[in-house]
Amino acid sequence: MDSWPSVAVPRLPGQGLPLRLHDTGTGTVRETAPEGGTARMYVCGITPYDATHLGHAATYLAFDLVQRQWRDAGLDVHYVQNITDVDDPLLERAAATGEDWRALAEREIQLFRDDMAALRVLPPDDYIGAVEAIPEIGAAVEALRAQGDAYAVDDDLYFPVSAAPGFGSESHYDRDTMLRLFGDRGGDPERPGKRDALDSLVWRGRRPDEPSWDSPVGPGRPGWHIECSVIALNRLGMGFDVQGGGSDLVFPHHEHSAAHAEALTGTAPFARHYVHAGMIGLDGEKMSKSRGNLVLVSKLRAAHVDPMAVRLALLDGHYRADREWTGGRLPAAEARLARWRAAVALPTAPAADEVLAEVRAALADDLDSARAIRAVDRWADAALGSSGTADSSSGGPLVRDLTDALLGVLL
Ligand code: ZN
């Protein structure tokens, strides 16, 4: 599937630091250590039935920062993202509104691309839809079945969690928590005929009123977790550097995706870091479709809000923290953006070597973007407050390059 247009990333003097990131699997902040000069990252993409809200944007911005720090550290990056362009929520929405599910998906994917491009999120190298990946997913489900790691319930196929010795090592949740989250997030713990309530669907057999595709295991469509396992595995291999997504994907999605991949290959781990972004709330509630409290990126764009201000507003907080989107955030970010732009436009301004080092250090430390922003603030305050006393150097161009390359904020 076509991704969105990329943007040039300025090269900065010197080199960035090794990136340290929080890993949900070990519960620690650890250095990422890509091998062979290329960092490999998979981030779970959207189910295209509703427009990009600020919660999505915050997640993709976090992983955009990952890619930018790796590049600054001299690494190449192989970034893969999927689109779950056939799944229950999409089909349910299309049925409710009477729209063709493909038309709905196509429209929302294009809106997402436009939102990502406006926010200057670097695109994935491989942007893969579930539908286009069905042949490879079908082959993987057949492989699971052939090795005894998939069983039938009626016309559907399930993965037994007993086949995954490492099951639970990503989320570390106890069984009661797993059962609750599985039921809340698309699982079917109550379905009769399953060997274990936590076993997950890998292939849904054909239903008369749903789209289906032929496969070695019969007609139907893939489950959600196996979709990501296979798309990642076939492009990045096992042991890739970062598996990313929002914190609502910790369980069951990432736990099951890893379990499927580990059963398919007989090796572990699926990913070396499992990295999760916090949720964005509005008026004390998590922003979500079901609550109807979404702030849409496309609506902000249509209201002529500068996407760079949206980006700055979302980065002014730690990616792992659940954060509130309050009315003051956007005006504060717009004011900051104006100050930074005024400062870099000055003919003379303080040297920027120190701010570059500070921003690199902050972002390498588990993406402390708020600390990075404070460092640029201090430089801008010094530049704007020191007319006539600024040293004769001109730090403006370097600050413009570093906010662009490291924070993705174009001044
Ligand atoms: Zn996924």
DSSP result, 14-32:
S-PPPPEEEETTTTEEEE-
pLDDT bin (cut points 50, 70, 90) of residue 51 is confident
| C-alpha of residue 264 to centroid of ligand 1, in Å | 17
- The pTM (predicted TM-score) of the whole model is 0.96
| C-alpha of residue 266 to centroid of ligand 1, in Å | 20
| C-alpha of residue 245 to centroid of ligand 1, in Å | 8
| C-alpha of residue 178 to centroid of ligand 1, in Å | 17
Stretch among 26-30, 282-286, 368-372 having the lowest mean pLDDT: 282-286
CA 377 – CA 370 distance, rounded (Å): 10
CA 25 – CA 168 distance, rounded (Å): 9
| C-alpha of residue 179 to centroid of ligand 1, in Å | 19
Q: Read off the pLDDT of residues 205-240 as tens digits, 9 standing for 90 and up.
A: 999 999 999 999 999 999 999 999 999 999 999 999
Nearest to 298 by CA among 107, 60, 53, 48: 53
| C-alpha of residue 285 to centroid of ligand 1, in Å | 24
Q: Read off the pLDDT of residues 270-310 as tens digits, 9 standing for 90 and up.
A: 999 999 999 999 877 777 777 777 889 999 999 999 999 99
| C-alpha of residue 88 to centroid of ligand 1, in Å | 15
Q: Read off the pLDDT of residues 107-125 as tens digits, 9 standing for 90 and up.
A: 999 999 999 999 999 999 9
Question: Is the confidence at residue 65, as pLDDT, over 90?
Answer: yes
CA 250 – CA 246 distance, rounded (Å): 8
Q: Quote the mean pLDDT of the chain.
A: 95
| C-alpha of residue 227 to centroid of ligand 1, in Å | 7
Question: Is the confidence at residue 392, as pLDDT, over 80?
Answer: no
* Percent of the chain whose predicted confidence (pLDDT) is above 90: 91
**What is the reported pLDDT for 291?**
77
**What mean pLDDT do residues 158-173 have?**
95
| C-alpha of residue 97 to centroid of ligand 1, in Å | 26
| C-alpha of residue 107 to centroid of ligand 1, in Å | 21
| C-alpha of residue 8 to centroid of ligand 1, in Å | 28
| C-alpha of residue 226 to centroid of ligand 1, in Å | 8
* Percent of the chain whose predicted confidence (pLDDT) is above 70: 98
Question: Is the confidence at residue 389, as pLDDT, over 70?
Answer: no
**What is the reported pLDDT for 387?**
56
Place of tokens 């037994």: 160
| C-alpha of residue 210 to centroid of ligand 1, in Å | 22
Burial 281-312 (b: 16+ CB within 10 A, else e): bbeeeebbeeeebbbbbeebbeeebbbbbbbb
| C-alpha of residue 282 to centroid of ligand 1, in Å | 25
pLDDT bin (cut points 50, 70, 90) of residue 251 is very high
**What is the reported pLDDT for 119?**
98
Yes or no: say if 109 and 52 are a contact pair by the CB < 8 Å rule.
no
**What mean pLDDT do residues 333-337 have?**
98
